[in-house]
Every structure is written in structure tokens, then in C-alpha cells.
Amino acid sequence: MEYYIVIPTYNEEKFIPMTLQSLVGQTILPKKIVVVNDGSTDNTEAIIQSFCYKYSFINLVNKTSDAIHLPGSKVIQAFQKGLETLDENYDFIVKADADLIFPSNYFETIAKHFQSDDKIGMVGGFAYIEKNGDWILENLTDKDHIRGAFKAYRMETFKQIGGLKPAMGWDTVDELLCKFYNWKVVTDESLKVKHLKPTGANYNKTARYKQGEAFYTLGYGFLITTIASAKLAMLKKKPSLFLDYLKGFWKAKSEKKPLLVTAEQAKFIRNYRLQKMKEKLF
């Protein structure tokens, strides 16, 4: 199977050499890697360029964005810039972060999953972070959720869900829309990706409110938002985030922010989320 990788990046001179090195060492190489340098002020661009000289399938795209570093909007706008440079001659496409080390068989295994079942729309592994010299699971989400740091989409699925939404919550709505359209989402515990920078390390107070806004724009409603906010705050071991998330939800509701999904999709999402919660409780 042929695949493309798009990597949005901003000031990642410390990590991107390791990310790119792990990608050029894959047992099945990508057809093309597009790295979108979104206004970096360090040596990120020069490092990417050095890989471009060495590997013909790596391309650099420069972008200047005025947006502050908020989860969702900035990174997906950069992803979109890279996507515009690609054709549609691929079997699956990958959105990847610039602070990862992939195991050498990662994309060979991803391809085998896609080949095993035509209804598999998304595949991914699991993120591991270093703690006291050991690599441990970065346990921020359920095991049936693919982390936004490394998303692989079948081309047909990617088109049907309308690509990626430039807003926080993009890496949840994509999977929910997959399920809405009856695609399967597969996670593979054998694929351990080293995540070199903790999730949300650069996010500020505004970004924390954005999580609550994301729950609103996903069509969750207040009950599901309350439960999801409590769970996420506990996973991050920061109880104060619970109130930040709820404030963000009510702010978005009062401003009547547009939803990322249709009314029909929002209803499906609420029913799906409630069903999953019931399964865990009972």
C-alpha cells in the first residue's frame, strides 16, 4: 500500500531529527513526507531541509501563521497546507506530530490492518512517554481512541468524513464521524510510539477553555461534557481543569459557536457516548 505523511511543525529542532530518522527507517517507506514548517524561529527549517537533500521523498513547505499555539486550529491549518501539495494517488494518509519516534515496522503493520478489512477506516498505535528512564503508556485517552499525534486514514474514509476540522476536537470528531459512516477504528497495542514532548506542554489557560468549547462543538450536551470533563481532569491529575472545561462549554454555548457536525451527527454522537459510558459503568 502507498501512503503519504504530513507533519505540521513549529520550533521542533530538538525532536524533529529523531522523528524523520524513524520515518526514513521504516520497513515500508512512505511515497512522500511533507513537513510543514509553520513559522519556526529556531533551526527547524534547516534541519528539515537537510533531510530533503538526502531523501527525495521528503518535501518542505513553509507557512506563516499568525495564530497562537492552540490545539486544533493552528496544527490542522498547517496540515491542510501540506495536504494541498499532494495528489490522491495513495491508499492511506497520515497526520503525524514532529516529536515522535516510530518503531521501524509501524507503517508496515498499519498497512496490514487496512489490507485485512475493507471497512477499517483508521488505524493507530499507542503513545509512550519517558518517566524515570522507562517508557510508559501516556494514558490520557481510552484504548479504542487513536491519539492525534499519529492518525492514519484510509483515503475513502478521509474523504467521507470531510478531512480534518481546524478546531480543537478534530481528533475526536474524526473517529466519531468514522463510526457514523460505519467505518471501523483500530488500535494496535503492539505499536509503541515514543512521544518525546508531553501533550499540552505549550498550552495556556485559553487552550484549557478550548477543550470545553470542543465538547460543545462536538454536540456533546451538558451531561456528557460534565462526565468527559471530570474524566479528563482526573487523567491529567489536575482537578482545576474540570471547571475550566465547563467554563469553556458555557462560553461556547452562550456565543452560539457553530458545531463541527450536523444535527443528525450530533444526535448519533450523544447516543454513542452515552452507550459507551453505560457499558463501562455496567
Q: Check whether residue 62 and residue 159 sit in a common domain.
A: yes
Average pLDDT along the chain:
91
Show the domain range for 50: 3-195
Let me know if residue 130 belongs to a domain: yes
Q: Is 152 found in the same domain as 223?
A: no
Q: Determine the Cα–Cα distance for residues 148 and 179; give it in Å rounded to an integer.
A: 17
pLDDT attached to residue 236:
81
Q: What is the pLDDT of residue 67?
A: 53
Amino acid at 87: D
| DSSP letters for the chain | --EEEEEEESS-TTTHHHHHHHHHT-SS--SEEEEEEES-SSSHHHHHHHHHHH-TTEEEEEE---S-S-TTHHHHHHHHHHHTT--S--SEEEEE-SSEE--TTHHHHHHHHHHH-TTEEEEEEEEEEEETTEEEE--SS-TTS--TTEEEEEHHHHHHTTS--SSTTHHHHHHHHHHHTT-EEEEEEEEEEEE-S-TTTT--HHHHHHHHHHHHHTT-HHHHHHHHHHHHHHHTT-THHHHHHHHHHHHHHHTTPPPSS-HHHHHHHHHHHHHHHHHHH-
Point out the domain boundary residue: 151, 173, 195.
195
Residue 155 lies in a domain: yes
Q: Would 209 be classed as within a structural domain?
A: yes
244 occurs within a structural domain: yes
How confident is the model at residue 19, as a pLDDT? Answer: 98
Looking at the fold, whether 128 and 222 belong to one and the same domain comes out as no
Answer yes or no: are the C-beta atoms of 274 and 220 closer than 8 Å.
no
Give the per-residue SS3 of 14-39.
Answer: CCHHHHHHHHHCCCCCCCEEEEEEEC
pLDDT at 231: 86
CA dihedral 80, 84, 85, 87 (to 10 degrees): 120
Confidence at residue 93, expressed as pLDDT on a 0 to 100 scale: 98
| Domain CATH number, residue 57 | 3.90.550.10
Ranges of residues in the chain whose predicted pLDDT is under 70: 65-72, 140-141, 199-206
pLDDT of residue 237: 84
Residues 227, 179 share a domain: no
Same domain, 140 and 189: yes
For residues 127 and 183, membership in a common domain is answered with yes
What's the whole-model pTM score?
A: 0.89
Say whether both 50 and 160 belong to one domain.
yes
Residues 157 and 136 occupy one common structural domain: yes
Instruction: Using the 3D structure, point to which of 144, 177, 195 is the last residue of a domain.
Output: 195
C-beta pairs of 109-112 under 8 Å, 24+ apart in sequence? 109/188, 109/190, 109/191, 110/3, 110/152, 110/188, 110/191, 111/1, 111/3, 111/28
User: Are both 181 and 224 inside the same structural domain?
Assistant: no
**Would you say residue 46 lies in a domain?**
yes
Residue 251 lies in a domain: yes
Do 70 and 142 fall into the same domain?
Answer: yes
For residue 200, tell me if it sits in a domain. no
Same-domain check for residues 220 and 134: no
Note whether residue 186 is domain-resident: yes
pLDDT given at position 269: 94
pLDDT at position 163, please?
96
Q: Into how many domains does the chain fold?
A: 2
In the listed set 195, 227, 257, which residue is the last one of a domain according to the structure? 195
Same domain, 68 and 137: yes
